[in-house]
Structures are given as structure tokens and as C-alpha cells.
Chains A and B, each alone.
Chain A
């Protein structure tokens, strides 16, 4: 079985400050982990993924995420937030040995204040 949790419904951060959007997961085997961003009235856009290798993954728009196996976490980070980063962020997980159907979190709304 696989599951993912995004413990924060909303994250508020000031422009220029670092941001973190949290994600924890549970899988039977090894995880594939993903982050997506959704702007209002748009589809989800793929940001980055962890499959194997370096625990720090870099993705689009200056975002990065750190895979932490001991804490079963995959938090999304950015060193300096922009107002344009304000959007809904989804974490997803899939078990290596499972079907090609990932489980998505409920989403975290990121609000970056000018």
C-alpha cells in the first residue's frame, strides 16, 4: 500500500524568504516521489521527481526537494520565494514494485506575500 501526507493546507511566506512545503509518504518498497504545481484553473505541472541517486533533487523554476529515507519525507524547497510561486502544490508517491498509479496528497496552498 502507498500513501502520502501533506500536513499543511496552507503555507504563507514573504517574498524573498525561503519556503518549504512538507510531504511525508508510506510505501511497501522503495518510493518514486514527485512534486507538481497547479496554478488557478490550470492542469498540474510536473516540477521534479526522485527515483534513485542523489537525495537532493533539483527541478523547474528554482525548486528543489530533499529525499529523507529515515524520516520518509520529500519536502519541497526554494531558497527565495517569488509572488508568482503562489499556487497549489501536490506531492505524489508510487511504489517501485506497484502499478503505474501514483497516490497524490491533498495539496498545499502556497501564498507568497509581497
Chain B
């Protein structure tokens, strides 16, 4: 079965600093990968979607970017963080008809 690894699990960063959140998956090849953000412990916002290496779809214009340098690696980045970037970031993959989520990364921008 597939496994999703996210790191770091928690991160506290000052406003204006860069960001890199990493997601790697195991047990699958050429997966569809997703980055979601969850604010205030509630609704999910789809940020980015990737169907393959170097192929990124941005769902929401914002301060963040994503890259997929390898088949099983998906990275979420920012050059300069804003306070509003704080939240719980979830990486996910599609297996068949179902999306599965990683354990998430908590980002607090101070």
C-alpha cells in the first residue's frame, strides 16, 4: 500500500522568510499529487495539483508555489511568507478513485 511522508511536521517561521515543505510517497508510481491547506481546523483548500514530473496546476493564486522534481516528490515553497500563510498543509495522492492524505505539516508564521 502507498505511504505519504511529510516534513517537517511543525514549523514556526517569521514573516518574510522562505518556506519549503516536502512530501514524498512510497508504494506507487506516477501518482497524482495534491497540496491542500486547512485553516482554522476546518475546510480544505486545494492549492496545487500535479499529474506528473514538472506538471503543476495552481488552483488558487497566492504567495505559494509548488514543484515536482521527481515522480514521488512534491514540494511546496514560498519566497516570502505572509501571516496569512499560517495553517495546516496536507499532501495527498490519488490511488484509483480515492484520495489519501499524509499527516500534515503545521506552519505558524510569526
A45 contacts partner chain B, Cβ-Cβ < 8 Å: yes
Asked if B46 is at the interface (CB within 8 A of a chain A CB), the reply is yes
Q: Is B62 an interface residue (CB 8 A)?
A: no
Inter-chain contact A106/B98, CB cutoff 8 Å = no
Interface residues of B in 47-83 (CB under 8 A from A): 49, 59
Once the chains are docked, how many angstroms separate the CA of A104 from the CA of B43? 8
Would you call A101 and B49 a contact (CB within 8 A)? yes
Question: Are B41 and A88 in touch, CB under 8 angstroms?
Answer: yes
**Cβ of B90 and Cβ of A34 under 8 Å apart?**
no
With A and B bound together, what is the CA distance between A100 and B34 in angstroms?
10
Chain A residue nearest in CB terms to B102: A43
Mark contacts of A40-62 with chain B using CB atoms, 8 A cut-off: 1 yes-contact digit, 0 otherwise: 01111110010100000000000
Contact status of A44 and B32, CB under 8 A, knowing A32-B97, A34-B98, A102-B99: no
Tell me if A100 and B90 are in contact (CB < 8 A). no
Number of A interface residues in the complex (CB < 8 A): 22
Q: Which residues of B contact A43 (CB under 8 A)?
A: 4, 90, 101-104
Q: A100-B32, A100-B94, A101-B49 are in contact. Are A44 and B43 (CB under 8 A)?
A: no
Chain B binding surface SS class: strand
How many chain B residues touch A (CB < 8 A): the figure is 21
Contact A49 B97 (CB under 8 A): yes
Closest residue on chain B to residue A36 by CB atoms: B101
| Docked-complex contact B98 and A49, CB < 8 angstroms | yes
- A2 to B: closest C-beta gap in Å: 13
Most chain B Cβ neighbours within 10 Å, of A94, A102, A106: A102
In the bound complex, residues from chain B placing their C-beta under 8 Å from that of A46 are 98-101
What's the nearest-Cβ distance from chain B to residue A104, in Å? 5
Assembly CA distance A49 to B99 (angstroms): 11
Whether A107 contacts B43 by the Cβ 8 Å rule is yes
| Residues in chain A near residue B106, CB distance under 8 A | 41
Least CB distance from A36 to B in Å reads 8
Q: Does A74 contact B (CB under 8 A)?
A: no
- Write the residues of chain B forming the contact surface with A, with a CB cutoff of 8 angstroms: 4, 32, 34, 41-44, 46, 49, 59, 90, 94, 97-104, 106
